[in-house]
Amino acid sequence: MQMKADSIDGIYDTLKDCAVISKYAGGIGLAIHKVRASQSYIKGTNGTSNGIVPMLRVFNNTARYVDQGGGKRKGSIAIYLEPWHADIMAFLDLRKNHGNESDRARDLFYALWIPDLFMERVKSHGNWSLLCPHECPGLQECYGEEFKQLYERYEREGKARQTIPAHQLWFAILDSQVETGTPYMLFKDACNSKSNQKNVG
């Protein structure tokens, strides 16, 4: 399922849906690509976003509280994020056994929705730009050549929050996998190009 919207209403409506699914012993996969990164401007309050980490701690506590079928096991929620999201490094640390407890959410499972472009940049020892979905809309809605063109356009326009060597992020992913067993890795372009449901969106 997708986060309904990048807003308080959208986040908490999604949280309620996760709680109800968990109540009836359902496992959940939740994509949070559209949630704005930390330090992003919030027009309604004239403030800045806290990013995905505090939000995911709320989902973590919901998974603990709303167990599956009355005490059988904790709720099971897998959180998906694309590796261009500006909060990706904090995301990779969420299950780790060390660090600040307020920056951890160890009862969730984590997964990456990886575009081919990222793996191409890793292979070529290229750079990788980290972006905020609020400032760079549409990346989560496309794949393949369309994604590549939009991503590279945002790079040319100077929209990157940070630019790092792609292999630096790749090694951070591998480090997290060794320590925690996550993130799971799914490849966005392969999944979409082979989908039997492309006709329904």
pLDDT tens sequence across 129-179: 999 999 999 999 999 999 999 999 999 999 999 999 999 999 999 999 999
**64 by DSSP, 3-state: which?**
helix
User: Of 17-21, 35-39, 68-72, which range is least confident?
Assistant: 68-72
CA distance 111 to 132: 18
Is the backbone peptide bond immediately before 165 cis, with ω within 30 degrees of 0? no
Confidence class of residue 70 from pLDDT cuts 50, 70 and 90? low
- Joined together, the tokens standing for residue 105 give 């959410």
The model's pLDDT over 137-150, given as tens digits with 9 standing for 90+, comes to: 999 999 999 999 99
pTM: 0.93
Mean pLDDT of the chain: 93
pLDDT at 69 over 70: no
pLDDT at 197 over 90: no
- Joined together, the tokens standing for residue 54 give 């505090």
CB of 93 closer than 8 Å to CB of 103: yes
Polymer length of the chain: 201
Contacts of 52 (CB under 8 A, 6+ apart): 32, 35, 37, 38, 81, 85, 87, 90, 91
Q: Which one, of 47, 48, 79, 50, lies nearest residue 62 by Cα?
A: 79
